[in-house]
Amino acid sequence: MFALAIPYHHWTLPDNRIGFVVIYSLTFFFANFGPNATTFVVPAEIFPARLRSTCHGISAASGKAGAIVGAFGFLYAADGIGVRKTLIVLGVVNFLGMIFTFLVPESKGKSLEEMSGEGEEENGSTAESRQTVPV
């Protein structure tokens, strides 16, 4: 996004149309390669199993609402403050999204039940600690 925003006046020149299309295409490739995947992968991993479908639906609806606000908001912002400044604001929002993605708990090596703590009782003992051992 910053590659489009910072040299915006350079990309608007007629001689630089090919470069603009290349940078624009790369922007959408990386937007769909990373952040778009997190909208369905992360909710499937971090929500407890009994609430997963509800929370996944809320997450998907929030993403769609954000897309609507972004599409219409871009038009008003570009008209109000200009395309270059609007792209810089979007770049900052993208950067903040990247930072917040790193704050999501990592699920590597853990089952969904371990992450949600579903195998634990209220007093903290697990099903494994209650097993009897033959004498």
What average pLDDT does the chain have? 78
Q: pLDDT (tens digit, 9 = 90+) per residue, 20-43?
A: 888 888 888 887 776 677 777 777
Q: Model's pTM, two decimal places?
A: 0.58
In sequence order, what are the residues at sequence separation of 6 or more whose Cβ sits closer than 8 angstroms to the Cβ of residue 91?
1, 2, 5
Burial class (CB in 10 A: 0-12, 13-18, 19+), 111: exposed
All structural domains of the chain with their residue ranges:
2-103
Residue with tokens 């600690």: 129
48 versus 127: which is more confidently predicted? 48
In sequence order, what are the residues at sequence separation of 6 or more whose Cβ sits closer than 8 angstroms to the Cβ of residue 33?
none
Quickly list DSSP for 56-109.
Answer: HHHHHHHHHHHHHHHHHHHHHHHHHH-HHHHHHHHHHHHHHHHHHHTTSPP-TT
Mean pLDDT of 52-58: 87
82 versus 7: which is more confidently predicted? 82
